Structure 1
């Protein structure tokens, strides 16, 4: 298979880099200064035990590629960028397949936070797979990705969307395993992704509250409690904390800073943030099923404002901070 990593940031760069380093065919898709750096120098991948400079082919879009039957598109962009990616890549590979894959287009793996991406992708592609990403990584400098997890780089639960498994996902999992990841195949990958969503509700607090650890924990706990209530009201299953801990154990330990992907978006000044699809998912469910979600609404609003105004992480006025911490109290 050829892996086309659309969004070669922290997660996409780590996955693509490790797959390439294990001998597989990989193409990175990026833009701007990151694409320039990848083309000029390759990907500098910092791992727990070494650093690699990987000369991985890098492109800006599908016009630079010839579609193949064995292509796998791995989406690594934030959810707010998924519609534009699908507009760009939605016709890629149609009409080139043979046998069982004739006319279906490539396999698509959503290596993304949130639970909306798979649904969006399934409108365009027949074979969509969810990936629940547990991969401590950072991307703060063009051309450089740090993924310091050990003894494994990360744990990536995989499954067909909306449920089930098939030979394609098992082959992808085998490649990821050989590349240094744990890659369990599950029949209900979305239960894992909803569990990850509950954890990701803390991302906005990490991004907007800065170094005030006690305040972050307290607000994140309120956001999670609202999330649990909303998922329960909606009847949506998710993997419990005990099962997650038992599965993960000490297989992925990392010394690097535990800042979230949302924090990294503010630090890079990207101008957009994924909180509408993390905290906003709980707000949506709360409105549909009659569950109050004031902490998640406040976090969604604060994170969007910080991204829109290109504020640094933790850059709140005293009034904004007081309003945020008072949400739901």
Structure 2
């Protein structure tokens, strides 16, 4: 199989870099200065054990790739950027048909909305719950900080089930230096990862200091309550992918790179959009549907959106700003107690 990695940033660059390193045919899809650098000099994947250099074909749109029935599309952009790309790639010709009819798309994204979006255009959707510490802050360079494996994936058909294709993708990723598991209910694992990711916005918008850890715990607890109310229980990392703990998975220093923040922090640092509306915003949406207050997640969503809209960059707010907005949100929802 050839892997067409749509979005060769932190996650996609690590996936494509490792697969290419281990002999798999890869196409990297990127835009702008990053695409230019990849074409001219290739991908430089920095890891704790040294750099990996990959020269692979680079595309900026479906028109740049002659797709074949043996291709697997890996969607590694953030979910807020997914709809337009899914529609474009689904319409790309494959023989006498289209990609949406004959090719699988693997949704390697945070949140739980990517798969549902993909199913509008693709018949074969593979969910991927991603545990992969990585950074992308300059063109052509991706830093992958995980050891002794680069990260882990729980894979499964969406909306449920498994098949030979999922097993083959999992085997390819395992051979390329990732821990993998196949699940009949991949979305339970993705809901568990959603709870972890409620802290991304906090890392992105809030300055470090006393009270940050308490806010992080409250944001996660709100998520746990709304998932219970929705009848969609999560599966935590230890249960979904026990290999990571067994391997002693951790982050380690990478020469020439420093991990400065979460993926949401990196997005604000680059001046782009953030995925908070699909992480904390998912918790807020479910809370409104099921009558569960989510003031901390709502405050983080508002502050992340303001950071993008006003060009504030990362960590422009303090704990008191989050608390004040959370208190206002709690009052508006009729929760007199507010956050703890």
Q: Output the TM-score relative to the length of structure 2.
A: 0.90
Q: Which residue of 1 aligns with 2:313?
A: 312
Q: Is the 8 A contact 1:14 1:45 kept in 2?
A: yes
Equivalent residues, number: 324
Q: 1:160 to 1:292 in 2, by over 3 A?
A: same
CA distance in 2, matches of 1:315, 1:161: 38
Q: Which residue of 2 aligns with 1:158?
A: 155
Q: Output the TM-score relative to the length of structure 1.
A: 0.93
SS at match of 2:181: coil
Determine which of 230, 241, 264 is the counterpart of 1:262: 264
CA distance in 1, matches of 2:275, 2:261: 15
Determine which of 166, 169, 174 is the counterpart of 2:171: 174
Determine which of 209, 232, 235 is the counterpart of 1:236: 232
Q: Deviations over 1:278-324 (max 9, x none)?
A: 00101111111111111111101101111222222111279745524
CA distance in 1, matches of 2:45, 2:64: 24
Q: Which residue of 1 aligns with 2:36?
A: 36
Greater shift, 277-286 or 103-112, is seen at 103-112
Q: Give 4+ residue runs of structure 1 displaced > 6 Å after superposition.
A: none
Q: Which residue of 1 aligns with 2:332?
A: none
SS at match of 2:182: coil
Greater shift, 150-159 or 191-200, is seen at 150-159
Q: Which residue of 1 aligns with 2:281?
A: 280
Q: 1:20 to 1:96 in 2, by over 3 A?
A: farther
Instruction: Tell me whether 1:139 sits opposite 2:136 in the alignment.
Output: yes
CA distance in 2, matches of 1:173, 1:265: 28
Q: Which residue of 1 aligns with 2:294?
A: 293
Q: Is the 8 A contact 1:266 1:306 kept in 2?
A: yes
Runs of 5+ in structure 2 lacking a partner? 254-258, 330-337
> What is the RMSD computed on CA atoms of the aligned residues?
2.0
- Structure-to-structure mapping, 1:9-48, within 5 angstroms: 9-48=9-48
Aligned-pair CA distance for 1:244: 5.1
CA distance in 2, matches of 1:2, 1:216: 43
Aligned-pair CA distance for 1:48: 1.9
CA distance in 1, matches of 2:154, 2:260: 21
Q: Which residue of 1 aligns with 2:334?
A: none
Greater shift, 85-94 or 293-302, is seen at 85-94
Q: Deviations over 1:184-223 (max 9, x none)?
A: 11111100000000000000000011322x3321111111
Q: Is the 8 A contact 1:93 1:105 kept in 2?
A: no
CA distance in 1, matches of 2:240, 2:65: 39
SS at match of 1:249: helix
Q: Is the 8 A contact 1:6 1:77 kept in 2?
A: yes
Q: Is the 8 A contact 1:95 1:103 kept in 2?
A: no
CA distance in 1, matches of 2:288, 2:281: 10
CA distance in 2, matches of 1:15, 1:305: 32
Aligned-pair CA distance for 1:86: 1.3
CA distance in 2, matches of 1:125, 1:245: 27
SS at match of 1:104: helix
Q: 1:291 to 1:103 in 2, by over 3 A?
A: closer
Q: Is the 8 A contact 2:100 2:122 kept in 1?
A: no
Runs of 5+ in structure 1 lacking a partner? none
Q: Deviations over 1:88-139 (max 9, x none)?
A: 2121245546xxx998221100000000000000111111001110011111
Q: Which residue of 1 aligns with 2:53?
A: 53
